[in-house]
Structure 1
Amino acid sequence: MNRVAGKVVAITGAARGLGRSHAVRLAEEGADIIALDVCQDASTAEYAGSRPSDLDETARLVEKTGRRAVVRQVDVRDRSSLSTALDEAVAELGRLDVVIPNAGISPMGPDRPLSAFTETLDVNFIGAANTVHAALPHLAEGGSVILIGSVAGLMPRYDGNTGVGHGAAGYSLSKHLLTEYADWLAIQLAPSNRRVNVIHPTNVPTELIKNEAAYRTFRPDLENPTADDVEPVFKSVHGMPIAYVETADVSHAVVFLASDESRYITGAQLRIDGGMVAKLQAGYDPRG
């Protein structure tokens, strides 16, 4: 307990899924939380976005641990509004020690419009960079930037021509760019004793992958595939006998990288992937 006691952590995409999991886990370890989320649908995704009530629930769960929560409804694509939200939240809580650009979308499917590519890139990569750049004036010495990547950023390039669609291509590119961005940013921040690391999860059972459009993408041979139908496909890509990792598995790594236990770790690309990348390197092609 108290591994991040006294720290203040800003998290985007905090209303549900991984963002909420990170917020609650960090609060359990002593951090106060700035919870940011757009609380709207993505225009090109077929699954529903979060709602203001979801963000309120994240705050309630954080406060249940005895820690403080400041919430703001903001679009990570709007750096001006994001800067204002962070300025206000940091003024209220007094400092900023950790920033976690977690917001992301994944509009899958071969029927998604070209705008799915640009929207995904804008949210997942530009939004992450906006979050970091808005946070840097506040980020304390010894602070930690924790980017939420994906194994998609470590896999061979894939695009809409493989059947996954424009949105999936944008998702892949956004995560590849995050890996490169972190390598460069880590060098820039190291002299100020601030760190940058990336966590690359495999499938996590959140709304981004637990939806009908994703099921159809992974099982195009079936008319109305279900979660049970795609599970064998997800299992096949891992070295370990799993289809998913849980949100908590990712949040445990977030706590480590937010804490002083990782004070000399920067520029790291941490895989939480059940052996997927190792299997890839051994010759398995997830594209078939």
Structure 2
Amino acid sequence: MGQLDGKVAFITGAARGQGRCHAIELARSGASIIALDICSQIDTVAYRMSTPEDLDETVRLVEEVGGKIVASQADVRDRAQVETALARGVEVFGQPDIVLANAGISPQRASEPDPQAVFVDTIETNLIGVWNTVIAAAPAMIERGQGGSIVITSSAQGIIGRGGDGSGAATAYTASKHGVVGMMRSFSAWLAPHSIRVNTVNPTGVRTPMVENDAIAEWFAANPTVAATMGNPMPVFMVDPIDVTRAVLYLVGESGRYVTGVVLPVDAGFTSK
């Protein structure tokens, strides 16, 4: 018996990285998974984004641990696409008990051809995409009257502003990750009377393709002063996706049944230095 038996989890950005890890481990704990990912490239992002094959691999890995999953290609910037992807899963599993608004981009690079465009794309994905995800799911969660849990992926950069360099990407990333903390607090006040908890997880750098890529490495190389501020006080360069997933499992499970409105760092001390 898993702690999430009978639950349904709606996860964005599920094709790889943290989203894939969340999908696998929630499925291992008994949840049925409704997954979406853009599975295509955003022009202002220099690193390779997810592909349909990545999402297929998430499906395979969820099924390998005995889980059930409905996966769709959808862009969180487009509310209609989010609603369609959610509806596909609801037809099979019913309304979600858990929402993980995880999709995001971090398009820092050494040289920005169009800072305005990258700023807009980052805000639309990381901030408006979270709004689209929660607003697609929350009304039906309220109507069903059985409570639930929403976890938004913020960042250690959603607590501090270290690493700013005036670029469109770095500024927008920090602004978006602060923005979802404010959104979480507003949502938690709205949804608490319905026993729906809303929290953020705020990781330091995580070993995922969004962070481990040539574009980020070149950005650090071009900005050594910024790079020098980005280390963790604990002796670990980055955390692993499973470290964030374990925090998510705490929040969405019985262990977190009265935890709401919380900013939960998984940051190896990054925000304390």
* TM-score, shorter chain, exceeding 0.5: yes
Normalising TM by the smaller chain, what interval?
A: over 0.9
Shift of 1:156: 3.0
Deviation at 1:160, TM superposition (A): 4.4
**Contact in 2 for aligned 1:199/1:269 (Cα 8 Å):** yes
- Equivalent residues of 2:39, 2:50 under 8 A apart: yes
- The equivalent residue for 1:15 is 15
- Higher mean Cα deviation, 246-255 or 103-112? 103-112
**What residue in structure 1 maps to residue 58 of structure 2?**
58
Residues 265-287 of structure 1 show CA distances to partners (whole Å, capped at 9, x for unaligned) of 000000000011111xxxxxxxx
Q: 2:10 and 2:240 mapped to 1: Cα distance?
A: 21
Q: How far 1:144 sits from its partner (Å)?
A: 0.5
What residue in structure 1 maps to residue 105 of structure 2? 105
Give the secondary structure class of the aligned counterpart of 2:10.
strand
Alignment of 1:236-247 (within 5 A): 237-247=231-241
Partners of 2:223 and 2:39 in 1: CA distance = 34
CA distance in 2, matches of 1:24, 1:158: 32
Displacement, 1:66?
1.5
**Cα pair distance change 1:262/1:221, threshold 3 Å:** closer
Is contact 1:14-1:103 (8 Å) kept? yes
Distance 2:204 2:103 in 1: 16
**Percent identical:** 42
Change (3 A) 1:42 1:246: same
Q: What residue is the counterpart of 1:144 in the other structure? A: 149
Q: 1:277 to 1:159 in 2, by over 3 A?
A: closer
Map of 2:3 onto structure 1 = 3
- Which of the residues 248, 270, 278 maps onto 2:272? 278
What is the Cα deviation at residue 110 of structure 1?
4.6
Alpha-carbon displacement from aligned partner over 1:193-213 (angstroms, at most 9, x marks no partner): 101000000000111111111
Matched, 1:263 2:268: no
Deviations 1:170-210 (A, max 9, x none): 11100000111111110000001101000000000111111
Q: How does 1:179-198 map to 2 (within 5 A)?
A: 179-198=181-200
2-structure distance, mates of 1:23, 1:142:
20
Q: Distance in 1 between matches of 2:119 and 2:18?
A: 22
Structure 1: gaps (5+ residues): 223-229, 280-288
Aligned mates of 1:88, 1:34 — CA distance in 2: 8
* 1:209 match: 211
Residue 138 (structure 1) shift: 2.8
Q: What is the letter of the counterpart of residue 19 of structure 2?
A: G
CA distance in 1 between counterparts of 2:178 and 2:207 reads 21
The unaligned stretches of length 5 or more in structure 2 are: none
User: 3-state DSSP class of the match of 2:147?
Assistant: strand
Partner of 1:225: none
Q: Which residue of 1 aligns with 2:47?
A: 47
**Structure 2 counterpart SS, 1:147:** strand
Question: What TM-score, normalized to structure 2?
Answer: 0.93
